[in-house]
Each structure stands twice: as structure tokens, then as C-alpha cells.
Amino acid sequence: MEDNAIMERKKMCLALFSGSLDKLTAAGVILSGAAADDMDVDVYVLLQGARAFKKEIGDNLEQLSMAENANLKKEFIESLSRLKVKTWIEFFREAKSLTNVKIHICGLAGKIWGGEKLEDFVDLADDICGINAYITSAQEADIHLFI
């Protein structure tokens, strides 16, 4: 490769199936790392994930369950607070402000939770799409994660 060649930005595709607090937080941390690495990121919010992106749920931690060890939710929230760790939604907002992050809500998943229009979801959502958009993005990505 020539020294003056411009390197193409890496692309990440993140399928966010889970709407649990622990996995949303993990996705936020990963998204933060991708933003720090100046990657383009497409997040496809699927099934349970779509519930977490509903306006009435969003950053309301009490509305979110834990995927692992449900009995540790209080301790998890207290630890995040003590360590001054951002909430999952703050991680997502920050990443969107730092790099090219697009958040796509799966149309079927949205409908399952009563979300018919983009306005039904938090302002981070860029669009509502079909599953084929996710499959295409996953095929084209340098990194593909499923959470």
C-alpha cells in the first residue's frame, strides 16, 4: 500500500437483539470503542431490543430487566452509579456524536412492542427497516456482532 493511500473506514454491524440492561450497557461500551476507533456503525435493533428503544422505556432503568442474574440488578445499577459509568443510552448518544452511527429499528420488532412510527422510539433511532437491511449490512461489515 502506498504511504499516501487513504484507508477506508472499517464498518461494524451490531445486531441488538437483547433489551436487557446488562446487554444494552455492554453494547454501549462496544459502540463507544468503535466510535473511538472512528468506525462506521450500523446498529439493527431487533425483537427485545426494540422494546428498550421505545420512548416510554428508553433510559428508565427500572423498566429494563437483566439477562444474566436478575437478582443482581440493584447491585449493577449501584455499581454503574458509583463508578460514574454512563447509562446505555448515554453511551449510544455519545457514540452518535463522535462517528457515523446509524440506529435502525426492525419494523416487525417495533410493531410487536406497539411501535408503528419512528416517533414511537427514542430520538436516537434513524429509521425503521426490514430484516433484509440488517442481512445486507452484516454481509458487508468488517465486524459483525450479535448481542
> What does the domain layout of the chain look like in residue ranges?
11-146
Largest CA distance in the chain: 55
Give me the pLDDT at residue 6, please.
60
pLDDT, averaged in runs of 10, over the chain (147 residues): 63 97 97 95 97 94 91 95 96 95 98 97 97 97 97
Give me the pLDDT at residue 13, please.
98
Give me the pLDDT at residue 2, please.
47
Give me the pLDDT at residue 8, please.
83
Least Cα distance to 92 among 81, 106, 82, 105 occurs for: 105
Least Cα distance to 92 among 59, 69, 60, 66 occurs for: 59
Tell me the CATH number for domain 11-146: 3.40.1260.10
Give me the pLDDT at residue 81, please.
95
Give me the pLDDT at residue 59, please.
84
How is residue 93 written as a grid cell?
448518544
